[in-house]
Copies of this chain bind each other. A is one copy, B any other.
Amino acid sequence: MLGTQIEAKEHVVNRVPEAGLVLVPGGTLITATPEEGRALALTMARHMIHNIQPDQDVLNAGRPQYAANAVSLMAASQVVAIEFQTIAAANNYWRVSRIG
């Protein structure tokens, strides 16, 4: 489960491109603005899914049913909300941007 190496080798997959597998794009949790921080939260959530399920065909096949389903949408939103908590704390909640 959660994509162990042994299992991932079982068949040739249409693998997600390398760029989509980087766990922390940009290599830092620090962003200039809350907007960028939230975009990072969304990207980090996406890339984690790619790492757990790196087969692009499976991801594409699952998307229509998933994105129209309220429970899945809420679950996805919740993951992003949790990632954003981490990023917001890392940036001291961009409190200085209040003055800027």
Contact = CB atoms under 8 A, between A and B. Distances in A.
Interface of A: 1-4, 6-7, 20, 22-24, 27-30, 33-35, 37-39, 42, 44-46, 48-49, 51-53, 55, 58-63, 65-86, 88-90, 93-95, 97-98
A68 B53 contact: yes
Given A52-B76, A78-B79, 10 more contacts: A30-B93, A48-B77, A48-B81, A52-B77, A58-B68, A62-B68, A62-B69, A70-B72, A70-B75, A75-B78
A73 B1 contact: yes
B28 A34 contact: yes
Number of copies of this chain that the complex holds: 6
B4 A62 contact: no
A63 B8 CA distance: 10
Contacts of A24: 33-35, 37-38
Contact of A84 (B58, B61, B86): B86
B59 A1 contact: yes
